[in-house]
Chains A and B, each alone.
Chain A
Amino acid sequence: QQQVKQSPQSLIVQKGGISIINCAYENTAFDYFPWYQQFPGKGPALLIAIRPDVSEKKEGRFTISFNKSAKQFSLHIMDSQPGDSATYFCAASMNYGGSQGNLIFGKGTKLSVKP
């Protein structure tokens, strides 16, 4: 119930291509879905996040698509660049009486963008 399943484990994309990372969850009480980007030796940085009242959110080259009925959400990176090479984590949490609860993380996707 608390698990967030992320795929693929690793991804190689050519520069300029589209990177797609998928996540699925079971607990329908989750109401907040952030994506984090982590470079080697650094802490995770919030990239983009979505709540279930919208099906898509776009910020620059990064888009989250959300399918509530399928309990799936995905990250699309358009025009992928070598500087996007990092590990990406999806996560989910639920609201407890006005307080956002603990983040449950996926296992991560290591993205490599080839020049």
Chain B
Amino acid sequence: SAVISQKPSRDICQRGTSLTIQCQVDSQVTMMFWYRQQPGQSLTLIATANQGSEATYESGFVIDKFPISRPNLTFSTLTVSNMSPEDSSIYLCSVAVAFADTQYFGPGTRLTVL
């Protein structure tokens, strides 16, 4: 497995602003993912963060709203842009150490948009 940290752990933001969430892993991993978990709900994949290239987004999620960077094998960022109250969720980073490995999740970032 891998040790995953996320910053910030929580934030309260104003409508129309943007927040960048960081995900740091203690070892090089093959795959990194970003999920959203709305209050009391299940997990929905936003995108796969690809090292050195554009992220792969799932249906319903677009790069303009959720730009993602992955400059190396241990770090990624997710930005939630032009936020609205509907963006209030927990945002989770997950990683897979190897291509055939399962996914391990970070502690999450709890975002509240007023």
Q: In the complex, which residues of chain B have a beta carbon less than 8 angstroms from the beta carbon of A102?
A: 33, 45, 48, 58
Q: Are B102 and A46 in contact (CB under 8 A)?
A: yes
* A16 CA / B48 CA spacing, docked (Å): 41
In this complex, how many residues of chain A approach chain B with their Cβ under 8 Å: the count is: 21
B107 touches A42 (CB 8 A): yes
Q: Bits for B98-110, please: 1 = Cβ < 8 Å to A, else 0.
A: 0111111111101
> Distance (Å) between the CB of A24 and the closest chain B CB?
15
Q: Specify which of A43, A49, A100 lies most central, judged by the most chain B CB atoms within 10 Å of its CB.
A: A43
What's the minimum C-beta distance from B113 to chain A, rounded to whole angstroms? Answer: 19
Mask, A57-101, CB within 8 Å of B = 1, is 000000000000000000000000000000001000001001110
* CB closest chain-A residue, reference B99: A99
Chain A residues with CB under 8 A of B44 = 105
Q: Say whether A100 contacts B96, CB under 8 Å.
A: yes
**Known: A43-B105, A43-B106, A44-B105. Is A99-B100 also a contact (CB below 8 A)?**
yes
Across-interface contacts of A43 in B (CB, < 8 A)? 4, 92, 94, 105-108
0/1 string, A29-56, CB within 8 A of B gives 1: 0001010100001111110010000000
- Of residues 1 through 42 on chain A, the ones whose CB sits less than 8 Å from some CB of chain B are 32, 34, 36, 41-42
**CA distance in complex: A105, B35 (Å):** 11
Q: Complex: how many Å from CA A49 to CA B103?
A: 11
B43 within 8 A of A: yes
For residue B104, which residues in chain A have a CB less than 8 angstroms away from its CB?
46
Chain B interface residues (CB < 8 Å from chain A):
1, 4, 31, 33, 41-45, 48, 58, 92, 94, 96, 99-108, 110
Chain A residues proximal to chain B, CB less than 8 Å: 32, 34, 36, 41-46, 49, 89, 95, 98-100, 102-103, 105-108
Q: List 13 A-B contacts (CB under 8 A).
A: A34-B103, A42-B108, A43-B4, A43-B92, A43-B105, A43-B108, A46-B1, A89-B42, A89-B43, A95-B100, A99-B99, A102-B45, A103-B103
